[in-house]
Structure 1
């Protein structure tokens, strides 16, 4: 029981105890408000050439051969089946840097947004189920072991897909403004001397984010 002499110290210790309990509770609950979106593509061809293509960069055809890859836009989404084959003329030992940027059409002009992602070693994470893009395409690769071993820096590597309906989902802690978007993806190969090869890849996914659920998630 606090005496008059130690009253201030008792109050201080009590306040510290309460603060510590609050911190423990917050760390256990970790509430996060998230708005979930689906990125609805505007074209069944899925991939488009970059509007501002960096010099020397190829479009998606410089990365994969799509001869045996088939897409069809139906009311429930884009149906996908077949396989793609790596055609990128780089070395298997190269490291791949990936950049993803989202641009928003505002009054006829494409404006950058805060939605950006950089991967310094894309081959290590492109089949990671925790990544945003995983549910879009990598999830449906049948020969995942071969894909993990070789990546697309090995020319001739095949990625065989089970038939699926493409759904691109994204969660954000803020409202994404409505309207057309461009998801711009660039890939650059870095050799063992840390030099960037000139034959990079640039392509886009054009569409619009549509909100489908809003609420609070408890982790």
Structure 2
């Protein structure tokens, strides 16, 4: 059974929307479309600060996608298999966002840091929650053990985030994600297009 949002978080969201409207700032709706090249997932060159490649941790060879009639929306299905035991210590996450401008990736002021990724993974207020809630609850083990399987069934790359503060985030973006434990660090990259409306 899905946990209801924490009352404090709900009131904070309502207060934020009220402040934005009273302050003359109109909330914006964002459309986020994951790029098909996200399936490549591995960082390259200077983005890769890890000591172990994500392909040594996760086998994503079974994951496929189909293209919807709008020719933008992709639906991913298949199994992601864990190839090694993940240490039971907290996993930290550092995500930095870059924008494609004039043929190069430039840093943006947007970043996320989580000291306990497993805890954040299940938080309904995190931006990745719409994807996580589509996974079977019985599979949401974190950190996972070797041979654990995450099953994707028609997971969409198309996401809508409504009533957010207006920030200059539209365009072609790249999120570089570093996950770390006491023993290892790996890097993943996600490509998205963001539209503000």
Q: C-alpha separation between the residues in 1 aligned to 2:28 and 2:40?
A: 26
Alignment map for 1:1-219 (pairs within 5 Å) = 30-32=18-20, 33-43=26-36, 45-51=38-44, 52-59=47-54, 61-74=55-68, 75-91=71-87, 93-135=88-130, 137-142=131-136, 144-147=137-140, 150-170=141-161, 172-190=164-182, 197=183, 199-211=184-196, 213=197
TM-score by length of 1: 0.68
* Pair 132,41 (structure 1): closer, same or farther in 2 beyond 3 Å: same
TM-score by length of 2: 0.75
CA shift for structure 1 position 70:
1.7
- Whether the aligned pair in 1 keeps the contact of 2:35 and 2:157 (CA below 8 Å) is no
- Higher Rg of the two aligned structures: 1
CA shift for structure 1 position 97:
0.1
Q: Which runs of 5+ in 2 are unaligned?
A: 1-13, 21-25
CA shift for structure 1 position 170:
4.4
Q: Deviations over 1:23-79 (max 9, x none)?
A: xxx9698343422212223325534322321152413x2332113322233325011
Aligned length: 174
Q: C-alpha separation between the residues in 1 aligned to 2:126 and 2:16?
A: 24
Q: Which runs of 5+ in 1 are unaligned?
A: 1-25, 191-196, 214-219
